[in-house]
Structure 1
C-alpha cells in the first residue's frame, strides 16, 4: 500500500469521515480550553466535570431527550455542587471535587445497570466515535462552534483571570463571573468530547494538549495556536492508526496525544540541559561551584 492509498482508503467510508470530523472538532475545542485549565490548575476539575455528566446522559436517554441536554445540566450541577461544598464548610476544593465527581459517576453507572435499553449505553463511558450519526455530528459541531467562539471572544479576560484574578478585579472585571463562565464552558466542552472518546478519556483531551503546548512555549498566545494544531494532528494520527491497525479509535487518539506530550517533554528536557551546559552562570552551575568551593 502506497502513501496515497494509506490516506485515501479510510475517506471512502462515510462513518470514518464522520469520525474524523467529530474527533477533530472535539480535539480543537478541548485543546483551546485546556490552555486555561493548565494555566489555572484546574486539571482535577476537568476530570470531575467529564465524569459527572454520565448520569445526565443516561437520564436524557430514558426521557428520550438529546444526550447533550442531560450532560450539560449535570455538568453545570457538578460545578455548582463543588462550589457549595467548598464554600459552605471546611472541605477543601480538591476533596469536594473528588466527592462530587465520584458520586455522580457512580450514580451514572448504577443508572446504566438498571436501565433497559436496546442501545448499548456503555459506549458513553468508553466512546464510540465510529458509530456517530449525522445528527450527533451536527450537535457536536454547533456546541463546539459556540464554545470556541466564546473562548476566542473573551480570551483576554480569561487570560487575565488565569494569571492574576486580583488584577482582573482592579480593572473592573468580575473574577467570580469569569471563573463561572470558564466552568460552564468546561461543561460544554466535556459534552463535545463525549461522543468522540467517551467519559473516561475526555479528561485526556482536556489536559494533554495544553500541557504539551506549555512545554513548547512560554507565551500564552502561542499556546492557543500550538495546542489546537497538535490536538487536530493527533486526532488524525490516532484515527488513521486505529483504522489500519484495527484498534479502538478513542484510546488511539489519546495515545497519540500522550506521545506528543512525551516528545515535547524530551525536547524540553534536552533543551534545558543543553542551555545549562552552554551557560556557565546558570543557577545549577552556580550551585555546583558553591558546593565545590
Structure 2
C-alpha cells in the first residue's frame, strides 16, 4: 500500500478506528518520549518495565467490571509507586529489590483477576500485546487529557527533575525534596505507561518509554534538544509503524517497536558525534596524525663528567 492509499483510509468514515489508533499512538509516543528523557538520564529503565507490571491489576479490574482502563491502570500504578517510594526509605534494601517485590506481585495479581473474565485468553493477549484498533472515543479523550497533564507537570518541575537526575546527594543537601520528586516522577512514568498500554501492550511498552529517549541521547548532548528529539522520534516511529502494520497486516505494537529499534540502530552507527562510524573515523584520524608527526628530538648528552662526592669525614 502506498502512502496515498493509507491517507485515504484515514479519511474513510467506514474506518473510523484508524485515525483514533493513529492519534493514540502519536500522543502516547510524545508523552513517553518526554518522560523517558528523565528515565534514561537517571538510568531508570527497570522502572518502566516494572510500572508496566504494576498497572496490570488496575487494567484487569477495570476490564472485568467494565470500567475505564486508563483510570484503573493509573490507580493501580500510583498505589504501587507510593508503596515502592515508602518502602525504599529502608536503607537495608535497595530500590530495585523493593521494585522487584511489589511490581511483580502486582502483575501476578492482575493475571489472577483477568483469569476471572470471560474469554480469558483473548483478554490477556489484548493486554500483553495491545489492541490499538479497538480504542473507544472515551479513551481517546482520556489519553489526550492525561498526556497534557503529564507534560504540564514535567515542564513545571523541569529544573527540579534535572537537579535530582544529575546529583541526588547535592540536591538533597540543597534542600530539594528528593523523596517527593521521586514520587511525582514515578507517577508520571505510571501515567505515560498506562496511556501507552493499548498502543503496544504491557510487554512492549518499555520500548516506547526508553528507545526514543535513548536514540535522542545519541544525537545530542543538550537536555533541551534531547527532550525535543525524543517525542519527535517516538511520534514519527508510531506513524511509520502504524502505516507498515496497516499495509502488510503486521501486529501494530511489534511493528512500532521494530521501527523504534531501527531508528536507534541508525543513530548508534551514524550519529554525527556519538555514532560508531564517527568515533571510528576520529580515532583513525588521530592515529594517522600521531604517525605522521615528526619524532621528538632526543635531548643532547651531558658532556661533563659526573663528579664523585667529596668525603668530608677524613678532613
Whether the TM-score (by the shorter chain) exceeds 0.5 is yes
Q: Does 1:214 align with 2:217?
A: yes
Alpha-carbon distance between aligned partners in 1 of 2:251 and 2:18, rounded to the nearest angstrom: 13
Calculate the aligned-residue CA RMSD, in Å.
2.3
Cross-structure match for 1:232: 235
* Structure showing greater Rg: 2
Q: Secondary structure at the match of 2:88?
A: helix
User: Size of the alignment, in residue pairs?
Assistant: 284
CA contact (8 A) 1:10 1:240 kept: no
Cross-structure match for 1:276: 283
Change (3 A) 1:19 1:211: same
Superposition deviation, residue 175 in structure 1: 1.6
Superposition deviation, residue 4 in structure 1: 2.7
Change (3 A) 1:22 1:6: closer
Moved more, 95-104 or 144-153: 95-104
Bigger proportion of residues as helix: 1
Cross-structure match for 1:247: 250
Superposition deviation, residue 87 in structure 1: 3.0
Change (3 A) 1:99 1:23: same
Cross-structure match for 1:107: 109
CA contact (8 A) 1:10 1:243 kept: no
2:194 is matched with which residue: 173, 188, 191? 191
Change (3 A) 1:165 1:264: same
Give unmatched runs, 5+ long, in structure 2. 292-315
Moved more, 258-267 or 91-100: 91-100
| TM-score (ref. length: structure 2) | 0.83
Q: Secondary structure at the match of 2:92?
A: coil
Q: Does 1:144 align with 2:144?
A: no
CA contact (8 A) 1:30 1:189 kept: yes
Q: Secondary structure at the match of 1:27?
A: helix
Cross-structure match for 1:30: 32
Which contiguous aligned blocks of 4+ residues in structure 1 show a shift greater than 4 angstroms? 117-120
Superposition deviation, residue 66 in structure 1: 1.8
Alpha-carbon distance between aligned partners in 2 of 1:161 and 1:217, rounded to the nearest angstrom: 20
Alpha-carbon distance between aligned partners in 1 of 2:41 and 2:11, rounded to the nearest angstrom: 37
1:43 is matched with which residue: 45, 50, 60? 45
Alpha-carbon distance between aligned partners in 2 of 1:251 and 1:274, rounded to the nearest angstrom: 34
Give unmatched runs, 5+ long, in structure 1. 286-293
Cross-structure match for 2:311: none
Q: Secondary structure at the match of 2:93?
A: coil
Superposition deviation, residue 245 in structure 1: 0.6
